Structure 1
Amino acid sequence: MATSSNPLARLADAGVAVWLDDLSRERLRTGNLAELVEHGVVGVTTNPSIFAAAISKGDAYDEQLRQLAAQGATAEDAVFRITTDDVRDAADVLRPVYDRTDTQDGRVSIEVDPRMARDTAATIESAKKLWATVDRPNVFIKIPATVEGLPAITAVLAEGISVNVTLIFSIERYGAVLDAFQAGLEQARANGHDLAPIASVASFFVSRVDTAIDPKLDEIGSPEAAALRGTAAIANARLAYGLFQEVTADDRWKALAAAGAHPQRPLWASTGVKDKAYPDTLYVDELVVRGTVNTMPEATLDAVADHGGDASDTVTGTKDEAERVIERLRGLGIDIDDVTRKLEEEGVKKFTDSWEQLLKQVDEQLSGAADQVAASDAR
């Protein structure tokens, strides 16, 4: 088990839940996920890109693909079966954490079909189907924070389904997510649901903001622009946390908390460092504050475990400084609202493209498996 001298344990002591941003059947079969849980990982997030990478490597899915091919499954059916099976098994690995943390951690996320990101009704139906199929209380259904996704978030929470709101980039949209979350809990309470087991996190994407803004600063080329490199993403996230504090201090939230609700924790996503000029633990060390989640790709998790910081609070009291960073960027002609709007569009497209690639890949593998089955039957 982790000790207080371990950077991951220090993060836990500081109130930061450490999650892994990855899942594969190989991790499940080898016991790797269980081992990571023993060393401080208390949750798992997935997305279409992660599943596409998992299925493309090794032979862990070959037997199930052969079975599905023999059953005449379509690529969409196969992807649904494979991903829900993996998430269910991961949820079982993490169930002791879920029980130990009073339902707050030990969660595994699975995303609705990203092609539905602009379709409210389809997102709601997809979320319900995923929830019923995985059939584990410690699952999060991931719903993108698009304009069309907001009413879906409310409707799904109202059914008592726990939600991970994903692809949040802007402060304005985050405010709308917090409102959708509270509206969902209010409806759930009216529907007679116990609010205590209904959980939610708001996945605020971090590194992609710097990836989008740093080239603009490089193009400007002034000393002030150079000084702002690598500051936008952290400032944006710190402002999001400030908004979270404001919302959880108001009377509307207090009424929900009195009814047993847990807050929608901010989750720092996209925390892998893209620019090698920056410390590889940058988006972990600079976003330490109690009551948050940091989901990390394995390389970042390993870096933090090896040489992470002392886990001192690096967020509380930083609102004014963060606002100055954003204003200095605007002074240079960089509108962060415009940047985050484009990042949302790109994020939806990226996940949709990954999903389409996953379907194509599985379709090809099903065809190959069907040929093997036919050849075997002919012998």
Structure 2
Amino acid sequence: MTDALKRLSDEGVAIWLDDLSRERLNSGNLAELVQEKHVVGVTTNPTIFQKAIGGNGAYAGQLEDLAVRKLTTDEAVRMITTSDVRDAADVLRPVYDATGGRDGRVSIEVDPRLAHSTAATVAEAKQLWWLVDRPNVFIKIPATKAGLPAITAVLAKGISVNVTLIFSLERYREVMDAYLTGLEQAKATGLDLSSIESVASFFVSRVDTEIDKRLDKVGGAAKELKGKAALANARLAYQAYEEVFGSADGRQEPSDRWKALEAAGAKPQRPLWASTGVKDPNLPDTLYVTELVAPGTVNTMPEATLDATDDHGVVTGDTVRPNYADAKAVLEAVAAAGVDYDDVVQVLEDEGVEKFETSWNELLDTVTATLAAHGSN
């Protein structure tokens, strides 16, 4: 059998797992995925932690200890989540060392309730960096308008960042600008740029979900565009990436601004394909993996998508750069059908922040109840 995951990795796609739980850590499953499925990184988000901690006995002992110490709910949640991220970072440390810090990373997100506050996001990012206390952690900051200056400020302090919840091409360009500005500020204060890493998480499946819903309302020939917009959007994001950082084959020159930073030791901010689990059962379950193969990218997958790719994924080489013209034509056709791209991406950003905030509040409620129960014993 062809090892699709190895082929994917050989094509320059870093395979990350979009999930984490204490059960996965304690059972040795994460270590197995690193050894057997070419997994070289882990991403988390508030929804992942809410599912992991809610009703899971693996956390009972720590919750009881935290209750005895009379920690607040917010403090308890951060103690639990940073503990899992720290342990995952230790599992992945050999990958981090072997890749010179490029991979072997574990991401933890700032409190989603802070998404529209720059100062609070910066303060939270610094606190999480200190709490986890591992060089191979990424602090996830959402690419909201308030998040952009926070991204710059955090990078300027030498903290590695995973920028999340990117949906639009315009916002992605703003994220790359925020990255370059952060590096320039770090350089000005004498920091070692080679120690700073970043990825930009460009969301995929949710774009199809929202646009396809609108295409259904238009009806007629517009329905033929269903399942195409998300790939087009991501492919054009990679084109924008090449315009800043240059192409692996040398066909696209990097920007002068990036050349100056690269000469000082900086590393490119890699595009990361997020939300790659296919939600439409009419589409191939490996679509957002096999059709987004390009060098210098990351694909963070739910375990079901990882398994599907391992089982029947067909990796044929670069499926991004040969399709720039087609991608542009797809988005133009979507616009011609009456779908407002700017409205779509704004709705998705707002919903993304709201969903993570809802999950975080549910997690807080679960921990509050558990702390109260242990505290009454």
TM-score for the superposition, normalised by structure 2: 0.96
Question: 1:333 is matched with which residue: 320, 335, 338?
Answer: 338
Structure 1 portions without partners, runs of 5+: 375-379
SS of the aligned residue for 1:81 comes to helix
Contact kept in structure 2, 1:231 and 1:325, CA below 8 Å:
yes
Give how far 1:311 is off.
Answer: 4.2
1:216-252 residue CA offsets vs partner (Å, 9 max, x unmatched):
11122212x1210000000000010000000111110
Question: 2:102 is matched with which residue: 101, 104, 117?
Answer: 104
**Amino acid across the alignment from 1:182:** L
Q: Distance in 2 between matches of 1:335 and 1:329?
A: 8
The residue aligned with 2:214 is 216
SS of the aligned residue for 2:16 comes to strand
1:183-234 residue CA offsets vs partner (Å, 9 max, x unmatched):
00011111111111100000000000000011111122212x1210000000
Q: Distance in 2 between matches of 1:96 and 1:257?
A: 25
**Amino acid across the alignment from 1:250:** S
Question: 2:315 is matched with which residue: 310, 335, 338?
Answer: 310
Give the RMSD, CA atoms, in angstroms.
0.9
The residue aligned with 2:249 is none
**Amino acid across the alignment from 1:296:** M
Q: Distance in 2 between matches of 1:46 and 1:205?
A: 14
SS of the aligned residue for 1:317 comes to helix
Contact kept in structure 2, 1:14 and 1:311, CA below 8 Å:
no
Question: 1:11 is matched with which residue: 2, 8, 16?
Answer: 8
Question: 1:131 is matched with which residue: 110, 129, 132?
Answer: 129
Structure 2 portions without partners, runs of 5+: 246-253
**Amino acid across the alignment from 2:138:** F
Contact kept in structure 2, 1:268 and 1:293, CA below 8 Å:
yes
SS of the aligned residue for 2:141 comes to strand
Question: 1:245 is matched with which residue: 242, 245, 254?
Answer: 242
**Amino acid across the alignment from 1:356:** N
Q: Which runs of 4+ in 1 moved over 3 A?
A: none
SS of the aligned residue for 1:202 comes to strand
1:318-366 residue CA offsets vs partner (Å, 9 max, x unmatched):
2211111111011110021210011001101111111111100110111
Indicate whether 1:293 and 2:298 are aligned. yes
Question: 2:27 is matched with which residue: 30, 33, 38?
Answer: 30
The residue aligned with 1:377 is none
The residue aligned with 2:50 is 52
Q: Distance in 1 between matches of 2:321 and 2:160?
A: 27
Q: Distance in 2 between matches of 1:284 and 1:338?
A: 26
Question: 1:68 is matched with which residue: 60, 66, 69?
Answer: 66
**Amino acid across the alignment from 1:167:** L
The residue aligned with 1:114 is 112
SS of the aligned residue for 2:57 comes to coil
**Amino acid across the alignment from 1:295:** T
Give how far 1:310 is off.
Answer: 2.1
Q: Distance in 1 between matches of 2:302 and 2:322?
A: 28
Contact kept in structure 2, 1:7 and 1:311, CA below 8 Å:
no
Q: Distance in 2 between matches of 1:369 and 1:299?
A: 35
Contact kept in structure 2, 1:47 and 1:351, CA below 8 Å:
yes
Q: Distance in 1 between matches of 2:47 and 2:316?
A: 30
Contact kept in structure 2, 1:289 and 1:314, CA below 8 Å:
yes
TM-score for the superposition, normalised by structure 1: 0.96
**Amino acid across the alignment from 1:202:** A
Contact kept in structure 2, 1:123 and 1:149, CA below 8 Å:
yes
**Amino acid across the alignment from 1:56:** G
Give how far 1:253 is off.
Answer: 0.4
Percent identity, aligned pairs only, is 64
